[in-house]
């Protein structure tokens, strides 16, 4: 092995790291370690000048190893690997020490944080000494795409991809396309007909020669990797297999069941309805109570199941504007009725929404505010009352306890993840957050990609959102996929396992533990063989191998053991 | 000065390391005694790594993986769990207290839980005092 010449770069991250870690002292001390040729600190290593610093040092000082101490490798490992590549050295001869997320942002003692940074960097230096150059593997991209979910997001993604001549397989578990949008009468804030928006979209999808639709179907298995997935689709008991290169997950959300909130009386009081049930009344043009009368008092309650630690802490985003939409529609149908809108905060953030709020407030709708922790209670009215129900509430703006008459109560139910979101997550290999929404690769900079290459998440399965946002995400994912298809191939991780045939004893333990059946057995040589295309680099075979014959590339025993030595070389 | 333990922690890339990153982005403060090593999957954590950490002087070793059923590689965390139970028996026979080695599940959204875990384990190990493994090893070998 040629002599190691390491460059160390300690990032300030503005003041994010420098405030809590003495970056200058760290760089100076690290510079004294064996094999370290240059040790520098710089304001923003990820910036262009920061990366240029690495590139020019590699050339000038003939560096063959680089360590950057900065943020999480999940953030910028790729950035710096690229810089190494630009300088003409193998990108895997690089290691990051996470001194921001794991040090400066979580500790309060500058001395301790500085010491900890030194030990993490020493560990990184020890590790990088044993890094091997790895060749990137390029795989062809199958131009077909699998879209999971036939709601508006799935439809938009499918059309966009199919429109550029690529094959799409669209999977919908129900018997019809359109998702929730198909059950909606008008769309807030412009009150245009949902059917006029949706129907042409469905028609285009149905008639598109590049889109194959699978209704009443589900995907039972997905194997492979970016560019080369195999999907098993079950359609009415029959199984079909399709080869695809990319996957769009647009599985949406379901509505919150308000029966669990006892005080709203849903399921007990006949005229308490959910938003979707009221929508159905609007769609058939018949807004009336269970006894067939026109309601004289209509009350709309916001935040049902949302923004409440007992149910869901998040805001479901779409309900406030739907509530205003209902108030407007109720006003047109029932010109004489009293309309009450019981809200906690009015969230009118999107285009045209604040205007809808202003318009609605001019239509004789009484807005009543309740506090988040002080929910109204719906009860049956007394025998002599001139209404079916009475809502007890503390009106926050007047500070008074009031009774609101109601003949119909509309609960603005929030949205939540499907019960089987976890199954979908496992199927495609994406992570979920605490609310069972799927997690983006980066919430701000890469919001439709996931940590599994080739798998994109769009629409409400990521978080509650309205139609424009869902469609934007769908089209963003489509653009990403089309870009990868037009590239034709993609570089994939090469951190797979490999077998040293000389010391493999043929015990086949690795074959038993591999979750991807990526290891086969060569009967003639009596050794295990790794199929690199199937191996995902989890490394569990490496831990099980009794002879050390299997190596997990980039996570080898010697790399991790020397990293441990480095960590422990300095006192806490 | 009170005893400051060193805890070496092995975190899987997909859940636990991300959870630890979330503790950072959420600016949740916790004890600075932990030193984190990233592996792709908790199934990669070899018993050798744990023993190495103890022999190098770690006072505690913490292994974190995805919650059961959430493993990015389907079942690596179950393999980790099985090895953990064997390893617990082994370290206890070597005279290492069982509380010095811990396995916990931390998801990508559990930054707060990760911070609490580190504080909790730091206090437990501080109570146990310094590990004697390194000292014994250097004296008798």
Is residue A52 domain-shared with residue A102, that is, in the same domain?
A: yes
Is residue A169 domain-shared with residue A263, that is, in the same domain?
A: no
Q: Mark yes or no for CB contact A538/B44 under 8 Å.
A: yes
Kindly report, residue by residue over A467-494, the tens digit of the pLDDT: 999 999 999 999 999 999 999 998 887 8
Q: How does residue A110 score in pLDDT terms, banded at 50, 70 and 90?
A: very high
For chain A, how many structural domains are there in total? Answer: 4
Q: Mark yes or no for CB contact A543/B14 under 8 Å.
A: no
Measured CA to CA, the distance from residue A230 to residue A239 in angstroms comes to 13
The pLDDT score that the predictor gives to residue B3 is 93
Kindly report, residue by residue over A524-561, the tens digit of the pLDDT: 999 999 988 788 899 999 999 999 999 999 999 999 99
Kindly report, residue by residue over A224-242, the tens digit of the pLDDT: 889 999 999 999 899 999 9
Kindly report, residue by residue over A189-229, the tens digit of the pLDDT: 999 999 999 999 999 999 999 999 999 999 999 988 899 99
In this structure, the number of other CB atoms found within 10 A of the CB of residue A238 comes to: 8
Nearest to B40 among A107, A539, A568 (CB): A539
Q: Residue A514 belongs to what domain range?
A: 497-553
Which residues in chain B are contacts of A96 at CB distance < 8 A? none
Residue A562 forms part of a structural domain? no
Nearest to B79 among A101, A429, A540 (CB): A540
Measured CA to CA, the distance from residue A376 to residue A343 in angstroms comes to 10
Q: Mark yes or no for CB contact A561/B49 under 8 Å.
A: yes
Q: Is the pLDDT of residue A572 over 70?
A: no
Nearest Cα residue to B118 out of B55, B66, B64: B64
Which residues in chain A are contacts of B115 at CB distance < 8 A? 106
Residue A567 forms part of a structural domain? no
Domain boundary among A81, A104, A136: A136
Residue A457 forms part of a structural domain? yes
β A389-395/A377-380 pair status: antiparallel
Is residue A391 domain-shared with residue A445, that is, in the same domain?
A: no
The pLDDT score that the predictor gives to residue B137 is 82
Mean pLDDT of B17-33: 96
Nearest to B28 among A106, A568, A571 (CB): A106
Kindly report, residue by residue over B87-140, the tens digit of the pLDDT: 999 999 999 999 999 999 999 889 999 999 999 999 999 999 999 999 888 887
- B117 backbone dihedrals φ, ψ, rounded to 5°: -60, -45
Nearest Cα residue to B58 out of B134, B136, B3, B139: B134
Domains of chain B: which residue ranges? 7-140
Kindly report, residue by residue over A149-162, the tens digit of the pLDDT: 999 999 999 999 99
Is residue A192 domain-shared with residue A180, that is, in the same domain?
A: yes
Angle at A266 between CA A301 and CA A406, to 5 degrees: 50
Kindly report, residue by residue over A350-407, the tens digit of the pLDDT: 999 999 999 999 999 999 999 999 999 999 999 999 999 999 999 999 999 999 999 9
Q: Mark yes or no for CB contact B44/A74 under 8 Å.
A: no
A481 compared with A139, residue with greater pLDDT: A481
Q: Is the pLDDT of residue A304 over 80?
A: yes
Nearest Cα residue to A528 out of A547, A549, A544: A549
In total, the C-beta contacts within 8 angstroms joining chain A to chain B are 147
The CATH number given to B7-140 is 3.40.50
Q: Do the beta carbons of residue A276 and residue A183 sit within 8 Å?
A: yes
Q: Please tell me the distance in Å from B108's CA to the nearest CA on chain A.
A: 7
Q: Mark yes or no for CB contact B46/A538 under 8 Å.
A: no
Encoding tokens for residue A516?
A: 């991807």
If you measure CA to CA, which chain B residue comes closest to A127? B37
Q: Is the pLDDT of residue A263 over 90?
A: yes
Domain boundary among A452, A468, A490: A490
What CATH number does residue A447 fall under?
3.50.50.60
Which residues in chain A are contacts of B21 at CB distance < 8 A? 72, 74, 98, 101-102
If you measure CA to CA, which chain A residue comes closest to B29? A106
Is residue A20 domain-shared with residue A75, that is, in the same domain?
A: yes
Q: Mark yes or no for CB contact B46/A429 under 8 Å.
A: no
The pLDDT score that the predictor gives to residue A1 is 62
Residue A558 forms part of a structural domain? no
If you measure CA to CA, which chain A residue comes closest to B28? A106
Mean pLDDT of A326-355: 97
Which residues in chain A are contacts of B39 at CB distance < 8 A? 539, 555, 560
Nearest to A108 among B8, B29, B83 (CB): B29
Q: Is the pLDDT of residue A571 over 80?
A: no
If you measure CA to CA, which chain B residue comes closest to A545? B46
């Amino acid at each position: 092995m040629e002599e190691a010449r390491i460059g160390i770069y300690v990032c300030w991250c503005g003041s994010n790291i420098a405030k809590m870690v003495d970056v200058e002292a760290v760089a100076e001390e690290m510079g004294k370690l064996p094999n370290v040729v240059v040790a520098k600190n710089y304001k923003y290593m990820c910036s262009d000048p920061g990366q240029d610093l690495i590139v020019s040092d590699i050339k000038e000082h003939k560096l063959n190893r680089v360590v950057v101490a900065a943020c999480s490798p999940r953030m910028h490992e790729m950035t710096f690997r690229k810089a190494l590549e630009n300088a003409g050295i193998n990108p895997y001869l690089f290691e990051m020490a996470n001194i921001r997320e794991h040090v400066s942002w979580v500790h309060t003692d500058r001395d301790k944080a500085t010491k900890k940074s030194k030990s993490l960097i020493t560990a990184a230096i020890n590790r990088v000494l044993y890094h091997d150059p790895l060749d990137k593997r390029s795989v062809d991209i199958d131009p077909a795409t699998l879209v999971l979910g036939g709601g508006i997001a799935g439809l938009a993604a499918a059309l966009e991809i199919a429109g550029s001549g690529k094959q799409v397989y669209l999977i919908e578990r129900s018997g019809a396309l359109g998702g929730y949008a198909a059950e909606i009468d008008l769309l807030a804030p412009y009150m245009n007909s949902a059917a006029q928006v949706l129907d042409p979209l469905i028609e285009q999808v149905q008639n598109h020669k590049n889109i194959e639709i699978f209704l009443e179907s589900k995907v039972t298995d997905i194997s492979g990797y970016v560019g080369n997935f195999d999907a098993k689709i079950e359609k009415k008991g029959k199984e079909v297999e399709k080869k695809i290169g990319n996957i769009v997950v647009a599985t949406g959300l379901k509505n919150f069941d308000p029966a669990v909130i006892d005080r709203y009386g849903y399921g007990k009081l006949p005229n308490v309805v959910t938003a979707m049930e009221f929508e159905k009344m609007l769609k058939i043009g018949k807004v009336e109570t269970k006894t067939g009368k026109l309601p004289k008092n209509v009350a709309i309650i916001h935040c049902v199941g949302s923004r409440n630690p007992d149910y869901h802490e998040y805001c479901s985003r779409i309900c406030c504007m739907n509530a205003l939409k209902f108030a407007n529609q109720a006003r047109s149908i029932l010109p004489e009725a009293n309309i009450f809108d019981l809200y906690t905060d009015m969230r009118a953030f999107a285009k045209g929404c604040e205007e809808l709020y202003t318009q609605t407030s001019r239509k004789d709708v009484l807005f009543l505010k309740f506090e988040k922790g002080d929910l109204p209670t719906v009860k049956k009215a007394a025998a002599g009352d001139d209404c079916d129900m009475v809502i007890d509430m503390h009106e926050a703006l007047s500070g008074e306890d009031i009774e609101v008459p109601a003949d119909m109560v509309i609960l603005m139910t929030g949205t939540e993840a499907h019960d089987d979101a976890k199954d979908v997550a496992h199927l495609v290999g994406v992570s979920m957050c605490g609310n069972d929404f799927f997690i983006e690769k980066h919430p701000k900079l890469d919001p439709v990609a996931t940590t599994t290459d080739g798998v994109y998440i769009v629409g409400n399965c990521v978080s509650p959102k309205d139609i424009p946002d869902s469609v934007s995400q769908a089209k963003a994912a489509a653009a990403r996929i089309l870009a990868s298809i037009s590239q034709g191939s993609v570089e994939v991780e090469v951190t797979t396992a490999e077998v040293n045939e000389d010391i493999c004893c043929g015990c086949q333990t690795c074959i038993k533990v591999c979750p991807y059946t990526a290891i086969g057995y060569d009967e003639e040589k009596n050794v295990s063989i790794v199929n690199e295309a199937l191996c995902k680099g989890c490394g569990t075979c490496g831990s099980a191998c009794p002879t050390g014959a299997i190596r997990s590339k980039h996570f080898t025993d010697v790399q991790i053991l020397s990293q441990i030595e480095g960590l422990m070389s300095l006192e806490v | 000065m009170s005893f400051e333990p060193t805890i070496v922690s092995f975190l899987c890339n997909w859940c636990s390391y991300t959870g630890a990153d979330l503790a950072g982005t959420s600016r949740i403060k916790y004890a600075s005694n932990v030193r984190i090593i990233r592996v792709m999957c908790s199934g990669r954590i070899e018993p050798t790594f744990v023993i190495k950490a103890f022999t190098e002087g770690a006072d505690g070793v913490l292994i974190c993986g995805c919650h059961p059923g959430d493993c990015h590689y389907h079942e690596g965390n179950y393999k980790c769990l099985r090895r953990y139970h064997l390893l617990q028996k082994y370290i206890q026979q070597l005279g290492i207290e069982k509380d010095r080695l811990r396995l916990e599940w931390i998801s990508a959204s559990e930054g707060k839980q990760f911070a609490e875990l580190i504080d909790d384990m730091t206090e437990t190990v501080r109570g146990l005092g310094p590990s004697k493994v390194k000292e014994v090893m250097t004296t008798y070998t």
